[in-house]
Amino acid sequence: MPNNLSHPLLTLLLDSLPDGLLVIGEDRKVLYLNQRFREMWHVPNDFPVRDDRALITLVLSQLKDPDHFIEVVERAYQTEKHFIDELEFIDGRVFSRRSASLNSDIHGRARIWIFTDITALKEADIDVLTDVYNRRCFENNYTNWVASANERHWSALVMVDIDHFKPYNDNYGHLAGDEALRKVSAVLKEQVKRYDDQVYRYGGEEFVLLLSGHDRTALLKHVEEIRLKVLALGIPHEENPPYAMLTLSIGCIFFQQPHDPFALFHEVDKQLYKAKEQGRNCLMESTLLP
């Protein structure tokens, strides 16, 4: 194992860490990696680790998005900035990847990579049926998301409700209801692709979306497309007159600076209620001014 750490105890401590550590020198040579890194990335003990390119070649087949992995690595070596992101594996694991630049008198500018297995944590945040984030995750993230609002972007808090879902379950059965939830959540995930945007299953048939964008009109159109795409699925729903298909009622609040998160949630709930009063299968929205 490449190792320029002279103190045996320090090496023992680093090998005992729950995180995988990798240190790469300015010339892209491997200066150090700990045993946990080998275990996490399935690097054989007899694998000839000389530079990071050899490691990249070894691990790419394990990742869902290898192109993104390479892109981030190459970009990291062109800056001294620190960053953090997540890596999804084909086998279902999820790693948090942190990277920091450091300067060494011997090796020049080096970069340390820290990998943490967050699979269990991510699974705790995911709704098993719909494969979107759950209410627990929403409650953990919502307040910080509201606090991060700023005047350069529009933020949109969106509440989505499947119309007359209990009668749907009663009429078609719970298996059909589960399948309908999966189809609706697939539409929501397809519409929520940007890094900062998220979709959560808030209740049985309710979803909450946290969105942002530069243009309010474009953002509103984006939300309306959710309703139209679910309508276009053409899922029969005899207990949802006059449409006789599965539809959504949507409430939406736009804002550009931090607000009281509880008051904000109350306002979006009011907009959702208005959508239901208007006959469902519609979007009601408002804007909160400073």
Annotated catalytic sites, by residue?
205
Burial readout 127-156 (b: 16 or more C-beta within 10 A, e: otherwise):
beebebbbbebbeeebeebbeebeeebbbb
- The number of beta carbons lying within 10 Å of the beta carbon of residue 211 is 21
Residue 30 amino acid letter: V
- The number of beta carbons lying within 10 Å of the beta carbon of residue 69 is 19
**Cβ within 8 Å of residue 201, ≥6 positions away:** 127, 129, 130, 132, 133, 134, 135, 181, 185, 207
Kindly tell me the burial class for residue 4, based on how many C-beta atoms sit within 10 Å of its own C-beta (0-12, 13-18, 19 or more). exposed
Closest to 264 (Cα-Cα) out of 289, 239, 229: 289
